[in-house]
Structure 1
Amino acid sequence: MKHRSLEIIRDEHSSLAAMLQSMRMLVARGPRDNPKNFFDVLRAMLFYIDEFPERLHHPKETELLFPRVLKAVPELGVAVARLDRDHEYTEKAVRDIQHLLLGWELLGESRRETFTDAFDRYVNLYLAHMQLEEKEVLPAAEKHLTEEDWQAVDAAFEKNCDPLTGKFKPEPMYDRLFTRIVQNAPAPIGLGQG
Structure 2
Amino acid sequence: MTLAYRIIRSEHYEIDLVMRGLDTLADAANRETWEPDFDLLFLILDYVESFPATFHHPREEDYLFKALRCHTPETGPMLDQLCDDRAEGLGLVGDLRRSLETYNVRRAARSWFHEAAKSYARHERQHMRWEERTILPLALQVFSKEDWQEIDLAFERNGHPLLSDRRRVEFDKLFALILRRIPGAVVFGPKVSNRKKAA
TM bin, normalised by shorter chain, reads 0.7 to 0.9
Q: What RMSD, in angstroms, separates the aligned Cα atoms of the two structures?
A: 2.6
Query: Residue 128 of structure 1 aligns to which amino acid in structure 2?
Result: Q
Identity value in percent? 30
Counterpart of 2:111 in 1: which secondary structure?
helix
2:182 maps to which residue? 185
2:192 maps to which residue? none
1:121 maps to which residue? 119
| Deviations 1:111-150 (CA, angstroms, capped at 9, x unpaired) | 2222222222222221111111011100111111233432
Aligned residue-pair number: 177
Give 2:147's match in structure 1, choosing from 132, 144, 149: 149
Write the distance in 1 (CA, Å) between the matches of 2:172 and 2:49.
Answer: 13
Write the distance in 2 (CA, Å) between the matches of 1:86 and 1:125.
Answer: 9
Counterpart of 2:186 in 1: which secondary structure?
coil
1:34 maps to which residue? 35
Contact 1:3 1:150 in 2 (8 A): yes
Write the distance in 2 (CA, Å) between the matches of 1:118 and 1:172.
Answer: 26
Contact 1:65 1:153 in 2 (8 A): yes
Query: Residue 133 of structure 2 aligns to which amino acid in structure 1?
Result: K
Write the distance in 2 (CA, Å) between the matches of 1:178 and 1:16.
Answer: 9
Contact 2:22 2:117 in 1 (8 A): no
CA displacement at 1:154 relative to structure 2: 1.4
Alignment of structure 1 residues 106-117 onto 2, 5 Å: 106-109=105-108, 111-117=109-115
Query: Residue 113 of structure 1 aligns to which amino acid in structure 2?
Result: S
Give 2:135's match in structure 1, choosing from 137, 143, 150: 137
Contact 2:22 2:121 in 1 (8 A): no
Contact 1:27 1:116 in 2 (8 A): yes
Return 5+ residue gaps in structure 1 as ranges. 161-169, 190-194
1:91 maps to which residue? 90
Write the distance in 2 (CA, Å) between the matches of 1:52 and 1:76.
Answer: 26
Write the distance in 1 (CA, Å) between the matches of 2:157 and 2:40.
Answer: 26
| Deviations 1:54-76 (CA, angstroms, capped at 9, x unpaired) | 21010111222112112222333
Relative contact order: is structure 1 or structure 2 higher (C-alpha 8 Å, sep ≥ 6)? 2
> What's the TM-score, normalizing by structure 2?
0.77
> What's the TM-score, normalizing by structure 1?
0.78
